[in-house]
Amino acid sequence: MSVILEARNIVRDYHVPGSFLKKAKTVHAVKGVSFSVEKGKTLAIVGESGCGKSTLGRILTLIDPATSGDLLIEGKKIDIAKGDLTPEMRRKVQIVFQNPYGSLNPRQKIGDILTEPLVINTKTPADERRDRAMTLLKKVGLEEKHYNRYPHMFSGGQRQRIAIARALMLNPKLLVLDEPVSALDLSVQAQVLNLLADLQDEFQLTYVFISHDLSVVRYIADEVMVMYFGEAVEYGSRDEVFADPKHSYTKTLFAATPRADVESIRARLAKKKAA
Amino acid sequence: MALLEIENLVVEFETASGPFRAVNGVSMKVHEGEVLAIVGESGSGKSVSMLAAMGLLPWTAKVTADKLTFNGRDLLSMSANERRKIIGKEIAMIFQEPVASLNPCFTVGFQIEEVLRMHLGLDRAARRKRAIELFEAVGIADPAERLGSYPHQMSGGQCQRVMIAIAIACNPKLLIADEPTTALDVTIQKQILDLLMKLQADYGMGLIMITHNMGVVAETADRVVVQYKGRKMEEADVLTLFENPKSNYTRALLAALPDNATGDRLPTISELFVDDQIEGAAR
Amino acid sequence: MSQAAATSAVSTDPSRRARLAEFWYYFSENRGAVIGLVFFIFLVLLAIFAPLIAPHDPTQQYRDAVLVPPVWQEGGRADFLLGTDAVGRDMLSRLIFGTQFSLFVGVIVTTLSLVVGVVFGVIAGYFRGWVDTAIMRVMDIILAFPSLLLALVLVAILGPGLVNAMIAISLVYQPHFVRLARAAVMSEKSRDYVVAAKVAGAGHIRLMFKTILPNCMAPLIVQATLSFSSAILDAAALGFLGMGAQPPTPEWGTMLAEAREFIQSKWWVVTLPGVAILITVLAINLMGDGLRDALDPKLKRS
């Protein structure tokens, strides 16, 4: 098994400039996180808002540079702050965002949204671009007739499928999924999760799945990393983490997750009756 | 006698492309001291039906119902003035976005005292005393200090606590919580749900919990109404619903929960549930 | 939640025609806007077909018919429907030809200030930092002058004439577009689709003008219609002050200026160009309000 992504001691600080009355300060969003993901596997990064998981996601997707630490993609070190981001590297990592209503340009047709990455990064001729877009459109469960429509004509779930298709246009090795199903309805969520699983099998994709929803993580992840205030407090295989959480925060998180099984409802009702 | 009684509620919106029926013949009852959960996905009309009952919809909405009563009084024929006296006092509501539901220009103390002044007519000292009590009741540390804070100085969870404090300020008989924890983190969600359940038991209020989260339903509700595309699919007590769901839609919804996944793919609604079955279930 | 569904149901219809229908639905809710639009179309037709419609040459002086009153007044003549001015030119023809100049001024000034303003605004909003500061301070300085005074000074430097007046006015209007474009770009820039385009490898120019700009157009279009009318007004004002179009051009402001001495005796020479300016500006403003209702998604929700 080859390692697709490796992060060594990633740190990201935000500098908040001072003003007349306030002192300048530095916010540590990510405090030295290390992990690695193998080809075809899914690493889930779990945490609550403000824990730095999205910041980390942006660093992994080569959108923002890390303040320090090394990021290796297929064993090759990349530092976008130094400007060594080639189109070749750019193509290897793509992202799917949380909010399907904000991630598609409302003024672009689906066809243009899908082919844009090819237009920018490759010299593929127009009809090949179109063919590839059509193929992926069908692969994510949409139809050819959707090619010339605008994003607002689609539902949230369909838009998320389009966003996934766009991410796949450049044949990436690694897909960063930033809460891809948390804005979707339960039934649509199941469809999108299935789609992601199908695509992973077919293309041997590697996922970094950022989420706050433990039930989804338990379903999709191979490995789990729990983040709390910028630190990785728990990191291990899914079964290890769920069966035997080590850190107190992980335990709190598990305890807080609402359970929808009959036994816990019985227990609750019994407790209520007793009170 | 039921606290809130809705029979055959229909809500239509006038849009550029013709009328749109958001709620289609929904009936339900809420009793005193009962927790009713209304579950549904987006577009199921779960929020709209409650907003309609409270008369909070914009004028583009057309609301009709065979019966719409609160505590025996007819809400439909009531004048706007009378209705205003009930809403906020006897029926209170909290919303999904706690930070957005508070006015950013005023301190939270001012906002809660405003409610006390309008509905209860308390004098300044009594208002302040009651506000502190309420903040204590909803578990805000340092209540006297916190009254002077602006919403943006508080976290989402704290803002939701303030919203709850404002909602229970007049000892309402019915509290409607519209996705009260959707915008919050899991650990905060737990705290807020625990708080709501405690207050509900202490005050003996009726509580309507509007949510899309089956976990929240399982942890809070006594009785559940399942809605889909503006129609009521099923109504059952919570244990029956999870143990032995009657409607195909509920069954599909429960199967789509990742917690219940058995194979390596989730069953999806469209596989288990075809649209024409809705008609059958609604009948 | 279902409310959102209700409003989105408006726009889920796939065809382009349906989107136009939606636009028209919101636009036509505003009755004033429709009246404004009808009148504006009428003006455009008038300007295009002026040589065919006008009964006389606008600069032809009829020596035998100086200061003839409109036809319905005593002494009026049937071939001069709205009377003649001090040198015997037909008022109606001059007013009809005047629409050409007014619309010309409006179009050129608006386009010029829109294009230049948008370029500066997008650059300022996209790059921020010192570029932003530099551009915005210059705009603040322009805004600090009373607009007509600044236009007057500029025309005084460039020399009087319609073209110079237009350049001056567009310069004065620029800051509004710059600010609007900058604000819109700043709010759009952090949206996910922009980040997505960045991840796809888009460069600065592409991000600025192809990805972001089309999404910022709605407020700019509204501002453009509103400045269209102000441009006509300012051009008329400059004409009135003798700094705009020069006689014998049948420009409404210039016509007003020429007729100043008759303000108490021969009302039609003064009133008619004034009324023309008033109605035109009013119509365009009404239309702009309607456009804003139809294009501004925030207002659409309610």
Q: Which of A97, A104, A116 is the closest to C200 by Cβ?
A: A116
Pairing mode, if any, of strands B67-70 and B73-74?
A: antiparallel
Query: Which residues are within 8 A (CB) of B58 and not within 5 positions of it... i.e. 6 or more apart?
Result: C302
Which CATH code is given to the segment(s) C30-301? 1.10.3720.10
* Whether residue B4 has pLDDT greater than 50: yes
How far apart CA B10 and CA B66 sit, in angstroms, is 9
User: Which among C161, C179, C159, C267 is positioned nearest to C223, based on CA atoms?
Assistant: C179
* Amino acid (1-letter code) at residue A17: P
Looking at the DSSP bridge assignments, the partners of residue B231 are B228
Structural domain of residue A126, as residue ranges?
A: 101-171
pLDDT in tens, A34-82: 999 999 999 999 988 888 888 999 999 988 888 998 999 888 888 887 7
CB atoms within 10 A of CB A117: 26
A contact test, residue of C7, C20, C22, C192 with most A CBs within 10 A = C192
Residue B39 resides in a domain: yes
Beta strand extents in B16-151 (DSSP E only)? 18-30, 35-39, 61-64, 67-70, 73-74, 91-94
pLDDT band at B270 (very low <50, low <70, confident <90, very high): low
Residue C11, min C-alpha distance to chain A (Å): 7
Give the whole-number percent of chain A exceeding pLDDT 70: 98
Do the chains contact at C1 and B23, CB–CB below 8 Å? no
The structure tokens listed for A197 are: 């699983």
- Sketch the domain layout of chain C as residue ranges: 30-301
pLDDT of residue B282: 39
Record: contact A262-B243, CB cut-off 8 A: yes
What is the count of structural domains for chain B? 1
Residue C208 near residue C124, CB atoms below 8 Å: no
pLDDT of residue C44: 93
Residue C299's identity, in one-letter code, is L
- Within 10 Å of residue C116's Cβ, how many Cβ atoms? 16
Mutate to test the interface with B, among C1, C11, C30 (most CBs of B within 10 A): C1
Whether residue B11 is contained in a domain is answered as yes
Inspect the interface and report whether the beta carbons of B219 and A48 lie closer than 8 Å. Answer: no
Residues in C touching B17 (Cβ below 8 Å): 9-10, 13, 18, 21-22
Q: Give the C-alpha separation, B55 to B218, whole Å.
A: 29
Q: Write out pLDDT tens, residues A179-196.
A: 998 888 888 888 899 999
> How many angstroms away from the CA of C21 is the closest CA of chain A?
15
Number of structural domains (chain A) is: 1
Does A56 reside within a domain? no
Q: Directed axis angle between helix C91-127 and helix C267-295, to 10°?
A: 30
Q: Which domain holds residue B273?
A: 4-90+170-282
CB pair distance less than 8 Å for B20 and C21? no
Taking only the tens of pLDDT, chain C with its 302 residues reads 344 433 343 344 445 677 788 788 878 888 889 999 999 999 999 999 999 988 888 888 888 888 888 888 888 888 888 888 888 889 999 999 999 988 899 899 999 999 999 999 999 999 988 999 999 999 999 999 888 889 999 999 998 888 899 999 999 999 999 999 999 999 999 889 999 998 888 889 999 998 999 888 888 888 898 888 889 888 888 888 888 888 788 888 888 888 888 888 888 888 898 899 899 999 998 988 888 777 765 444 33
Distance from CA of B42 to the nearest CA of C (A): 6
For residue A1, name the pLDDT band (cuts at 50, 70, 90): low
**Res C1: pLDDT:** 38
Closest CA to A238 of A44, A72, A17: A44
Concatenated DSSP letters of chain C: -HHHHHHHGGG---SHHHHHHHHHHHHHTSHHHHHHHHHHHHHHHHHHTHHHH-SS-TT---TT-TTPPPTTSTT--TTSTT-B-TT--BHHHHHHHHHHHHHHHHHHHHHHHHHHHHHHHHHHHHH-HHHHHHHHHHHHHHHHS-HHHHHHHHHHHH-SSHHHHHHHHHHHHHHHHHHHHHHHHHHHHTSHHHHHHHHTT--HHIIIIIIIGGGGHHHHHHHHHHHHHHHHHHHHHHHHTTSSSPTTS--HHHHHHHTGGGTTT-HHHHHHHHHHHHHHHHHHHHHHHHHHHHH-HHHHH-
Q: Smallest CA–CA separation between C192 and chain A, in Å? A: 4
The pTM of the whole model exceeds 0.90: no
pLDDT of residue B83: 85
Query: Which residue in B has a C-alpha nearest to residue C2's C-alpha?
Result: B43
* CATH at residue B202: 3.40.50.300
Residue A15 within any structural domain of the chain:
no
A229, part of any domain: no
Give the Cα separation of B149 and B128 in Å (integer): 14
Identify all chain C residues contacting B46, using CB atoms and an 8 Å cutoff.
Answer: 1-2
pLDDT for C256: 85
